[in-house]
């Protein structure tokens, strides 16, 4: 593990399990709907959900789940990884093919093929079709949809409004690197752990987030944390990038991680241009509202930077 200790992993998982179980019972919810994508985020959330259900059943509260792989012009490898997860943790995985629905969508046909944002628009349609499917399941069963977005994606705006958002957030304050550590702790299948993060929407050629961002998340987490520590406002204005103070900070970060100034600036531009998705908040329930609650180092601190830099050196 690069960042977390086994003690931290256990504390987070125990707390997340308890909070999820309490929320379901308190709100008289009958269970959980969750899309299993074959990625680390949904894998971690799925295990937490199963633990919460087991806890509730031990207390005599009847509850269930609907874990489904939503094929929407998806990579066949994603389905294989989802099936490996289901086998590992002994849960039933439902399969639903949305591809024909997607291909028949009048919205898809209305997108100009040469439009510079065509791939993103196509990906958003896929994501929102998945959302409709999950919320349909939740409505029919009296369930709730679990959200699978994490902190690294939050700062990069790598989620779709009214798409992959859910009713309840559990891993919102964890970085992608920390989630990988949790995956190791839980013995998540290696096919998932070794996969580079992506969205399964074919926005990029290889379907990998790094292709769009320019760097792996482990670097991005360090960059954003250090900039936040220096006073940079990721929900602010692009004019910050012309401020001499932040230019010097980018130069310092560039030397620390041995990455070009322009690549780091691009990361910050991505965060700022997606600020509109974060700055006004949301009405989704956060089961774990801050990192100190589950014993993790606060984001945007010197201690976080030190730990992350150590992890980057190991990564390289």
pLDDT in tens, the chain (316 residues): 899 999 999 999 999 999 999 999 999 999 999 999 999 999 999 999 999 999 999 999 999 999 999 999 999 999 999 999 999 999 999 999 999 999 999 999 999 989 999 998 999 999 999 999 999 999 999 999 999 999 999 999 998 888 888 999 999 999 999 999 999 999 999 999 999 887 777 776 666 778 889 999 999 999 999 999 999 999 999 999 999 999 999 999 999 999 999 999 999 999 999 999 888 767 788 999 889 999 999 999 999 999 999 999 988 7
pLDDT at 207: 64
pLDDT at 262: 97
pLDDT at 91: 98
CA distance 83 to 77: 10
Q: Are 145 and 166 in contact (CB under 8 A)?
A: yes
Q: How far is CA 218 from CA 29, 235, 315, in A?
A: 36, 21, 8
pLDDT at 198: 76
Closest C-alpha to 162, from 199, 135, 122: 135
Q: Are 300 and 225 in contact (CB under 8 A)?
A: yes
pLDDT at 164: 84
pLDDT at 206: 65
DSSP states along the chain: --S--HHHHHHHHHHHHHHHHHHHHHTT--EEEEE--SSHHHHHHHHHHHHHHHHHHHTT---EEEEEEEESS--HHHHHHHHHHHHHTT--EEEEE-HHHHHT-HHHHTS-TT-TTHHHHHHHHHHHHHHHHHHHHHHHHTEEEEE---HHHHHHT-S-TTTT--SEESSTTS-HHHHHHHHHHHT--HHHHTSPP--SS-SSSS--HHHHHSS-HHHHHHHHHHHHHTT--TTS-GGGGG-HHHHHHHHHHHHHHT--HHHHHHHHHHHHHTGGGTTT----EESS--GGGGTPPPTTSHHHHHHHHHHHHHH-
Q: What is the CATH number of domain 6-315?
A: 3.40.50.620
Domain positions in the chain: 6-315
Q: What is the CA radius of gyration of the chain?
A: 20
């Amino acid at each position: 593990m690069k960042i977390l200790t086994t003690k931290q992993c256990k504390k987070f998982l125990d707390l997340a399990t308890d909070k999820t179980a309490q929320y379901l019972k308190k709100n008289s919810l009958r269970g959980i709907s969750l899309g299993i994508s074959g990625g680390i985020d949904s894998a971690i959330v799925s295990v937490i959900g199963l633990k919460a259900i087991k806890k509730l059943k031990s207390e005599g509260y009847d509850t269930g789940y609907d874990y489904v792989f939503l094929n929407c012009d998806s990579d066949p490898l994603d389905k294989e990884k989802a099936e490996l997860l289901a086998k590992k943790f002994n849960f039933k995985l439902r399969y639903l093919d949305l591809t024909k629905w997607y291909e028949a969508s009048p919205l898809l046909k209305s997108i100009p093929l040469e439009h510079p944002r065509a791939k993103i628009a196509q990906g958003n349609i896929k994501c929102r079709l998945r959302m409709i499917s999950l919320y349909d399941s939740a409505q029919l069963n009296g369930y709730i949809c679990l959200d699978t977005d994490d902190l690294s994606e939050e700062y990069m705006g790598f989620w779709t409004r009214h798409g992959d958002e859910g009713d309840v957030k559990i891993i919102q304050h964890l970085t992608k690197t920390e989630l990988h550590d949790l995956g190791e702790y839980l013995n998540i299948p290696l096919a998932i752990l070794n996969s580079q993060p992506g969205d399964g929407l074919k926005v990029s050629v290889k379907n990998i987030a790094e292709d769009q961002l320019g760097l792996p998340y482990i670097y991005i987490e360090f960059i954003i944390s250090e900039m936040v520590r220096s006073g940079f406002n990721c929900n602010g204005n692009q004019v910050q990038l012309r401020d001499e103070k932040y230019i010097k900070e980018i130069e310092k970060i560039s030397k620390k991680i041995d990455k070009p100034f322009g690549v780091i600036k691009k990361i910050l531009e991505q965060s700022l241009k997606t600020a509109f998705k974060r700055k006004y908040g949301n009405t989704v329930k956060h089961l774990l509202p801050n990192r100190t609650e589950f014993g993790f180092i606060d984001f945007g601190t010197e201690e976080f930077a030190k730990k992350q830099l150590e992890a980057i050196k190991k990564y390289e």
